[in-house]
Structure 1
Amino acid sequence: MSQVMVVEVPQWQGSGSATAERLVEGAGLLAAMVPDAVRHRIEVGEGDTPAALAATAGKARTVIGDVREGFVVTVGGDCGVELAPVSAAIDGTASASPSSGSTRMGTSTLLRRLPPALSTG
């Protein structure tokens, strides 16, 4: 099996929950559920500000973007952590021509680059 990297992003900023800081612990618990994985924990900034969110997303995007082989699982606190893997995937495919390969289907869907036969509109 390919190497698995778990990118733990304990981001609590951006959550509307009164107990948002508990998402930090949740991210750690989720990361621990993937056995035998290389773990990389992203340190989040202080405060609930757009600058803190941007810094966290930038760190995660850099780590994810540097992965050239294997499988990446991103786990987090707040649901905003999914932006980094999607952004890294888009950057990795934006200059490539669309293919019919299923490995790029998710990104192609987000970019609306599906072959016409598979397009929903």
Structure 2
Amino acid sequence: MPTRFLIVPQWQGSSSSRAMQLMDGAAAIAGDLPASATTTVDVPMEAGESLGTGVHRLSSISSVRDRALAALTELSAIGDGPVVTIGGDCGAELAGVQHAVSRRPKGTMALVWLDAHGDLNTPETSPSAAFHGMVVRALLGEGAAPLASTGDTALAPNALVLGGTRELDDGEAAFVDEAGIRVVTVDELRSPDALASAVEATGADSVYVHVDLDVLDPGAIEGVQFPEPFGVQPDELVAAITALRARFELAGAGITEFAPRTPDAASDDLSVILRVLSALTRALPET
């Protein structure tokens, strides 16, 4: 089945003062996708309420997750091909990963989180209370109850691989050490096979690949809200994804956190983004 795309222009999970520019970023990427293979989730304009959970804008984030899950269920009825989510903030990926986990035997899917940040906070440890810094912890089954995965849809820590992560809050760093989370560093990603080897160690036979564009070096892309120096180069990221797909079934993928300041700035970055998207979606040579 051909790849399908789910546009989730969620901004409510971001802690940036420019959060709503994430909607522009999602629209810019969607403009280069085939309309016949693209579904857009309606994201409310209202910020939403925390509902006493310690997660800013939780009510809107929960509503978007439910709408995205419904869209993914409809797409699954059409066929089994992978769906690539286009965010929005990293929380836009919540539904995509939860849906992919639910469709596979427990323990058979790994999650590769390519991101300058760990996104492993809980409401108790988060300095910002923004959900885009809590997404992965929710996928592991911890955090605010309306969002956290439960039962067989929760990933185990040994199914998670962080790639290119170079900025962790204190609570996140402690959790990475305690849980034994695999981290593939920027230096290690210079070897195309490093990421695939880390996934192989999980025992999984399929992989969901999340790309927060701030995993890239700031010199390679401008339209991100939380750039971190000394990131991954586009060629290295493309090679790592290509090597990963050569060894594992792609259960799904996502690209998030594109927030261009202007339409012209969006155009300048799209060539890099489309290279990453191509690595996730292009047909692999038959072996």
- Tell me the TM-score normalized by structure 1: 0.73
| Off by >4 Å, runs of 4+ in structure 1 | none
Aligned partners of 2:110 and 2:202 also within 8 Å? no
Which residue pairs with 2:65 in the alignment?
57
The answer (yes or no) to whether the contact 1:5–1:38 under 8 Å persists in 2 is yes
State the AA in 1 paired with 2:28.
Answer: L
Q: 1:79 to 1:66 in 2, by over 3 A?
A: same
Equivalent position to 1:83, from 94, 97, 118: 94
Structure 1 residues 10 and 119, CA gap change in structure 2 (3 angstroms)? closer
RMSD between superposed Cα atoms in Å:
2.6
Partner of 2:13: 14
Secondary structure of residue in 2 paired with 1:20: coil
User: Separation in 1 of the partners of 2:18 and 2:40?
Assistant: 21
- The secondary structure found in structure 2 opposite 1:106 is strand
State whether residues 101 and 109 of structure 2, in contact with CA within 8 Å, keep that contact through their aligned partners in structure 1.
no
Q: Displacement, 1:38?
A: 1.3
Alignment of 1:1-121 (within 5 A): 2-35=1-34, 38-45=37-44, 46-48=46-48, 49-68=57-76, 69=79, 70-93=81-104, 96=105, 104-106=108-110, 110-111=155-156, 112=158, 118-119=201-202
Shift of the alpha carbon at 1:64? 1.4
Instruction: Give the drift of 1:32.
Output: 2.5
For the pair shown, the structure with the greater C-alpha radius of gyration is 2
Tell me: higher relative CO, structure 1 or 2? Use CA pairs within 8 A at least 6 residues apart: 1
Structure 2 counterpart of 1:101: none
Shift of 1:89: 1.2
Q: Post-superposition shift, 1:60?
A: 0.6
Q: CA deviation at 1:85?
A: 0.7
Q: Using the alignment, how far apart are the partners of 2:87 and 2:106 within structure 1? A: 31
Q: Partner amino acid for 2:31?
A: A
1:37 Cα deviation (Å)?
5.0
Structure 2: 5+ residue runs without aligned partners? 49-56, 112-154, 160-199, 204-287
Residue by residue, what CA displacement relative to the aligned partner does 1:48-106 show, whole Å, maximum 9, x if unpaired? 4211110001111121133332221100111111111111012212xx365xxxxx432
Question: Percent identity over the alignment?
Answer: 31
- Unaligned 5+ residue runs, structure 1? 99-103
Q: Secondary structure at the match of 1:86?
A: helix
Further displaced range: 32-41 or 77-86: 32-41
What CA distance in whole angstroms lies between the structure 1 residues aligned with 2:58 and 2:35?
34
Question: 1:47, 1:36 → 2: CA distance?
Answer: 28
Q: Which range moves more in the overlay, 78-87 or 62-71?
A: 62-71
Distance in 1, Cα, partners of 2:106 & 2:22: 38
Residue aligning to 2:134: none
The 3 A distance-change label for structure 1 pair 41 and 97 is closer
Q: Distance in 2 between matches of 1:59 and 1:79?
A: 16
- The verdict on how the C-alpha distance between 1:21 and 1:87 changes in structure 2, with shifts beyond 3 A counting, is same
Give the counterpart letter for 2:37 in structure 1: V
